[in-house]
Structure 1
């Protein structure tokens, strides 16, 4: 069983790593250049995220238009959003992780790993799905664009 304080330790470790990175880079290039580097990497990363985000959104729409369930595409989209967050956080290690997620082959590899390990569960049955398997009972009514008339309501009430 995982320690409930584990996320806190990971967060503190990441903060300490970033502080070390700032000190190391600041010592090598100076404080002002360190700030400029952080701003430039964030701006460049966001520009790349915007370009790849539009491309990825278009691919998702094409998959949906073909009637495919884009599970990998949705995970890749989540990874793209994670890259944007990592690039916005000040720090060189988070920037490096964000830039890695912006590289399409590495992002596809990470998405495949997430799906393979079952870290994302679908709601179509099986583990994490509806109780009792993949069948969900319910009613279906088709509503067309015409307004409902009093006769339609009577017909519907008679069926119950």
Structure 2
């Protein structure tokens, strides 16, 4: 057999609408490799240049990765600082609000005591007024009873 493309055995290509048929143990032929030409001598200088270029590229990439890691670390630190500051501010506001609530509750109790005291004194004043009115009314009745009536003949 020759190495011409016509003599190589390839599996049949399926149609786009059909599933691929089983290969039946048919192996694709090995690719055609050009015949080796005259060997070129190994160029140490060119090889060293390529090696140095690869090392330089690797160093640049490592430096770039290091810079990106530093930027990311700094961004994360800034975000953590921002969050910590926000949490501290919220805690401070929470404590201030708790203090205000306690102050308002104490003031509410004072107002309730004052209201009860005023209510009690108001009741006492009403009772005294009622008593005074009743006393005045009785005194008036007694005086009118003792005085002669102008309508009596």
Fold match, TM over 0.5?
A: no
Structure of larger gyration radius: 2
Q: TM-score range by the shorter chain?
A: under 0.3
TM-score in terms of structure 2 length: 0.24
> More relative contact order in 1 or in 2 (CA 8 Å, sep 6+)?
1
